[in-house]
Amino acid sequence: MRIFLTLLTVVTFGLTGPAQSQNMPVVVELYTSQGCSSCPPADEILTELSSRSDVIALALHVDYWDYLGWKDAFGSKTYSKRQRDYAAAAKQHTVYTPQMIVQGHSYAVGNRLSEVRRAIAMHKDDVDEVELTLHRNGNQLSVGVRAKNGDVGRSIIQVVRYIPQATVRIEAGENAGRNILYSNIVTQWTQIGRWNGSDEITETTTLTGDEQVVVLVQAAGPGRILAAGRLP
């Protein structure tokens, strides 16, 4: 457990200049389930992606396969709804696992490594349109957002918390008898503000617990991810 007393952590994304220039990390959301026999290869791919500094890899466990005989320990109807919202925004009529959604608007079958790599490569050189600044002081997180070159459209600011790794023994269902390693398991997905896409704003929220922290600025819909950052 890390204790934050008077420590101030500052992370800035999207700034120009020799010392601070960097591409925005590509956000990969894996929709997975412990009750899905096709998901373990996708979970392994996400584990590989979680070690990359240029990728923010997040595992969202859905609950709609729980009826098969095993209740996913990390499953949540919140993540099932988020996946359905993506499907509605893309005018798709069904959801499935494993699915990866890259940067909020590119889709890949999660256990097909070549598809996932292509989707990530498509977004590696995305233009940074938004400057995202994160300040942590104790349990207070301050999020600054600024458009760099004009209005980018209405969006929402979200804080995501996740557990880096956990191994689960599956006792029933399609993966019965397996021990499966899961990485970057999302435990909380919270909207902390709305942004008009042009004015510079700052939002503040309180952090509790030891989970890792990611901040996303995402077009409403849900739509494309405009900025992303994580606290070290």
- 201-231 pLDDT, tens digit per residue, is 999 999 999 999 999 999 998 999 999 999 9
* Secondary structure element (H or E) that encloses residue 143, with its range: strand 140-147
Between 96-100, 123-127, 140-144, 157-161, the lowest mean confidence (pLDDT) is in 123-127
Query: How confident is the model over 176-192, as pLDDT tens digits?
Result: 999 999 999 999 999 99
Q: Would the pLDDT of 3 be above 70?
A: no
Cα dist from 225 to 44, 162, 222, whole Å: 24, 18, 9
Q: Answer whether residue 75 shows pLDDT above 80.
A: yes
Q: What residue type is assigned to position 204 of the chain?
A: T
User: Do 169 and 177 contact (CB within 8 A), yes or no?
Assistant: no
Is residue 98 reached through a cis peptide bond, with omega within 30 degrees of 0 on the bond before it?
A: yes
What pLDDT was estimated at residue 8?
A: 34
- Cβ contacts of residue 10 below 8 Å, gap of 6+? 133, 134, 135
Confidence of residue 125 (pLDDT cuts 50, 70, 90): confident
pLDDT tens sequence across 39-51:
999 999 999 999 9
**Kind of pairing between the strands at 212-219 and 155-169:** antiparallel
**pLDDT of amino acid 128:** 87
Quick one: what percent of the chain has pLDDT higher than 70? Answer: 90
Q: Which pLDDT belongs to residue 17?
A: 29
Tens of pLDDT, residue by residue over 97-121, are: 999 999 999 999 999 999 999 999 9
Chain-centre distance of CA 22, in angstroms?
19
Tokens linked to 217:
């600025």
Amino acid identity of residue 66, one-letter, is: D
Is the peptide bond prior to 40 cis by the omega test (within 30 degrees of 0)?
A: no
Q: What is the mean pLDDT of residues 136-148?
A: 96
Nearest-angstrom CA–CA distance, 224 and 232: 24
Predicted confidence at residue 23, as pLDDT, reads 58
pTM above 0.95, yes or no: no
